[in-house]
A and B are shown apart, each in its own frame.
Chain A
Amino acid sequence: DADVTQTPRNRITKTGKRIMLECSQTKGHDRMYWYRQDPGLGLRLIYYSFDVKDINKGEISDGYSVSRQAQAKFSLSLESAIPNQTALYFCATSLAGMDGYTFGSGTRLTVV
Chain B
Amino acid sequence: DAKTTQPTSMDCAEGRAANLPCNHSTISGNEYVYWYRQIHSQGPQYIIHGLKNNETNEMASLIITEDRKSSTLILPHATLRDTAVYYCIVRGLNSGGSNYKLTFGKGTLLTVNP
Q: Please give the residue numbers on chain A whose beta carbons come within 8 Å of chain B beta carbons, in ascending order.
A: 4, 33, 35, 40-45, 48, 58, 88, 90, 92, 96-98, 100-106, 108
Taking a contact as CB atoms under 8 Å apart, the answer to whether A106 and B42 are in contact is: yes
Taking a contact as CB atoms under 8 Å apart, the answer to whether B104 and A98 are in contact is: no
Q: Please give the residue numbers on chain B whose beta carbons come within 8 Å of chain A beta carbons, in ascending order.
A: 32, 34, 36, 41-47, 49, 87, 91, 93, 95, 101-107
Tell me whether A98 and B43 are in contact in the complex, defined as CB-CB below 8 angstroms, given that A41-B106, A42-B87, A43-B104 are known contacts: no
A58: nearest chain-B partner, CB-CB: B101
Residue from A42, A45, A58, A106 within 8 A of B106 (CB atoms): A42
Chain B residues with Cβ under 8 A from A45's Cβ? 101-103
Q: Determine the main DSSP class of B at the interface with A.
A: loop
Chain B residues with Cβ under 8 A from A43's Cβ? 44, 102, 104
Chain B residues with Cβ under 8 A from A48's Cβ? 101
Starting from the known contacts A96-B95, A106-B42, 9 additional A-B residue pairs (CB-CB under 8 Å) come to: A41-B106, A42-B106, A42-B107, A43-B44, A44-B104, A58-B101, A98-B91, A103-B45, A104-B43
Taking a contact as CB atoms under 8 Å apart, the answer to whether A98 and B36 are in contact is: no
In the assembled complex, the CB of B7 is this many whole angstroms from the nearest CB of chain A, namely 15
Query: Cα distance A19–B11 when bound, in Å?
Result: 40
Taking a contact as CB atoms under 8 Å apart, the answer to whether A103 and B107 are in contact is: no
Taking a contact as CB atoms under 8 Å apart, the answer to whether B105 and A105 are in contact is: no
Residue from B34, B43, B87, B93 within 8 A of A106 (CB atoms): B43
A42: nearest chain-B partner, CB-CB: B104
In the assembled complex, the CB of B47 is this many whole angstroms from the nearest CB of chain A, namely 8
Chain B residues with Cβ under 8 A from A88's Cβ? 41
